[in-house]
Structure 1
C-alpha cells in the first residue's frame, strides 16, 4: 500500500553499478514480496547482506496456545501482565495473548532497547499505547509516540530504542498488512472516501551507516516450535544498518490514530467503516472519538450481533467505551467475543446512550476469520466473570 519513496544515495538506473567515492562497489539487495510479483524496494549496502559468522537457537517467548473451550466471551486485563517495564525489551519481552495460524496478538511493557530483530513469518503492526522512542530500521529511523501504528514489513531488520517505559500492543501476521482494498484505486492510491491518505503516513529518515562488527540479529521464522515458529540468532560480520540508499514501495512507516477521520451516519454504522488495515484472514479497525448517529430515534451504541464468520477482539486504550459500561471494562482491557456467541452492549448502556451526540473513546479491534486460541498471557489475565456481565445487567 505504501507509495514510492526514495532515500539516500541511489544510482540513476536499477541493477547497474553503484560505487562509493573511493570506487568500492555497493551491494544491491532486492527486498520484495510474493516472489518478485508485488511491492519491493532496492537497498544498496556497504557490506554483504548475506554474510553470517555464527548461528544459534533463540528460545522464543512462550508461543503455545489453548483453545477457547468451553466457548466463552472473555475479559483480559492486559495491565495485570506487567508490574513495570524494567529489565524488558519490546521484542523478547512480549507475552502472547491470543493467536491462530494467521495472526498473533501480544502485549508488552518495556523500557530497554531491544536486540536487532527480524520477523521472517509476516508483517508486524505495533500499536503504541503509551510511551515514546525510535524504531531504528535498515531503511532509516521512525520516531514514535502514543497512538502510533508502526507497520514493519516481513524480514525488515530493526530494533526498538525506548525513551522510558513503553506499552505496546503487537499484531504479528503470517501475511502482509495493507490498507483495505476498498480504499485503494486499482493502481494503489488511497481514494477520496478513505479515512486517511498518503499525507498521514510517516516515512523513515535517511538511512544510517554504522561501522560495527560481530553484531547479533534475532530472527523469528517458520519452524517446528509451538505455533510453527522457531527462533535463531545470527552473528553477522557487519552491522545491518549499512545501507547508503534505497527506493521502492516496500518500507516501514508510521500512522497515528489521531489522523484517522471517522465515518459516521444518521444511524449506527457497521464495524467495517472503522477499518484501518487488513491482513490474510483478519482486519484491524480503530474506534476513535467521533460524533455519533444523528437520526432523532437513533441508538448510538451497537445493536446485538453474532459474528458468524469471525472472532472480535477489542483493545480499550482511552476514554469510556459506551457499549461496555457496567461490565468492568477499563483502559488496558481486551474483550474476546468469539464466533458463535451473540454479543452487544450491556443492557444498561443502551438507554444511557440515547441522545448522546459524541463518543470519547479509543479502541483497537482485530477481527479474525479463524478462531483464536488463548496464549499464556491471555490465560494469565482472564477475569473469569465477563461472560455473566450481560445477565447481571438485566
Structure 2
C-alpha cells in the first residue's frame, strides 16, 4: 500500500492551480502507470546552462530527407524488446517478406498503397497503424511514395485494458479493419522470392508460384489496421491527463500512445494545459511528430522525432506556457513510444541528430 506524505507548498490536485511562480515536476515510477510524487520548484528543472556527457534530450529533425536512403528501413533506436525504424519507399517491395524475429507495427506517416498478406490485402493511407504478426508473409505495393515509422517487437502488440472507461473507449472494435482472404495479385511471374528474417539475417526462399495462396482463414492471429484519426482521446476540462490515457497498443516492456487533436483544459479552472515537467525515471520516451502545430515544442515539424532518456528532465519549452493561455484545443497528431529498457541510438541516429536540441530550453 502507498504511504502518501506531503510537505511544504503543494496543490490539492496535481496539475491544477500550481502555486504562482512555481513549476510542477512529476516524479513517477513505471512510466505513468506506477507510484508518483509531485514536486513544486521555484525554478523550472530544465534551466540548465550546460550538459556534459551522453545523457541529454535528443532530437531528429524531419527524417524523411536526403540523408535517408530510399526503399529500405533504417533502424534508429533499439533495445532487447523493440527496434524503431523509419523508411521512405518510392517503389514497391521487390520481394515478399516474413519476419521470424518480430511482430511488426507500421505507422503510415504519408502515402497510399496496400499490403498484401497471407490473410489477404489491407489498403493503407496516411495515419494508419498496421499490425503484422510474426511469421506472416507480406508485400508492400505503393500507389504513392510512402513514409513509414516501423516498430519491431519481440512480443505481441495487444490492446490496452480500458478498465472503468468501458470496452468502447479509445477506439471501438469496429474501427479495426481485418483483411479478407484473397490470393496474391501478382500471378504472371516465373518465380517469387520470400525474404525471411531470422536472428537478424535474411534467408531467401524461391517459389514457382505466388506464396499468397490462402483461400480462407479463421482464428485470433491476423493482421489489423487502425487509423490514428479514429482514436478517441480521454480528456478532462479540469485536469491534464497523463500520457498513459492515450495508450493505443501494449507490448512487453513498452507501450505505443496516440496523441490526437482534442479540446484543451479550461484556463479558468487553473488546470495545466501543456505537458508537465517529468523525469519518468523508469522509461525512455520517444515522440514521433506526425502532423499539426506542436505548440509545446519550438522548431519541431512533421516527421521529426524526439528522444528523452531516463534520468534527465523534460517538458514544455519556455514559450509554451504563455502560448497555451489563449489556445482552446490542440490540432497535433503524434505517436509516442515509451520503453522500459534503455534505448540505444543507432549510428544513423547519432550522425543525423540535432546536437543542440538540449539548448532549446535555455
TM-score (norm 1): 0.74
Question: Is 1:198 matched with 2:173?
Answer: yes
- d(CA) in 2 for partners of 1:314, 1:373: 15
Aligned-pair distance for 1:152? 0.5
Aligned-pair distance for 1:237? 4.3
The residue that corresponds to 1:167 in the other structure is 147
Contact residue 62 and residue 302 of structure 2 kept, 8 A: no
The residue that corresponds to 2:245 in the other structure is 273
The residue that corresponds to 1:285 in the other structure is 257
- From 123, 126, 140, the equivalent of 1:146 is 126
- Structure 2 residue matching 1:142: 3-state secondary structure: strand
Aligned-pair distance for 1:83? 6.4
- d(CA) in 1 for partners of 2:250, 2:206: 34
Contact residue 82 and residue 109 of structure 1 kept, 8 A: no
- d(CA) in 2 for partners of 1:382, 1:158: 32
Contact residue 62 and residue 301 of structure 2 kept, 8 A: no
The residue that corresponds to 1:356 in the other structure is 327
- d(CA) in 1 for partners of 2:168, 2:215: 37
Aligned-pair distance for 1:348? 1.5
Report 1:312-331 matches (<5 A).
Answer: 312-324=285-297, 326=298, 328-331=299-302
The residue that corresponds to 1:241 in the other structure is 212
RMSD across aligned C-alpha pairs, in angstroms?
A: 2.0
The count of residues paired between Structure 1 and Structure 2 equals: 305
Contact residue 101 and residue 197 of structure 2 kept, 8 A: yes
- d(CA) in 2 for partners of 1:84, 1:389: 25
Question: Is 1:216 matched with 2:193?
Answer: yes
Contact residue 117 and residue 217 of structure 1 kept, 8 A: yes
- d(CA) in 2 for partners of 1:169, 1:113: 16
- Structure 2 residue matching 1:129: 3-state secondary structure: strand
The residue that corresponds to 2:24 in the other structure is none
Aligned-pair distance for 1:344? 0.4
The residue that corresponds to 1:380 in the other structure is 351
- d(CA) in 2 for partners of 1:106, 1:216: 23
Aligned-pair distance for 1:140? 0.4
The residue that corresponds to 1:17 in the other structure is none
Contact residue 140 and residue 207 of structure 1 kept, 8 A: yes
Report 1:1-394 matches (<5 A).
Answer: 70-79=54-63, 81-82=65-66, 88-89=70-71, 93-114=72-93, 115-180=95-160, 182-183=161-162, 191-192=166-167, 194-208=169-183, 214-222=191-199, 229-265=200-236, 266-294=238-266, 296-324=269-297, 326=298, 328-391=299-362
Aligned-pair distance for 1:165? 0.7
Contact residue 281 and residue 370 of structure 1 kept, 8 A: yes
Aligned-pair distance for 1:178? 1.1
Structure 1 residue ranges without an equivalent (≥5): 1-68, 223-228
- d(CA) in 2 for partners of 1:84, 1:319: 23
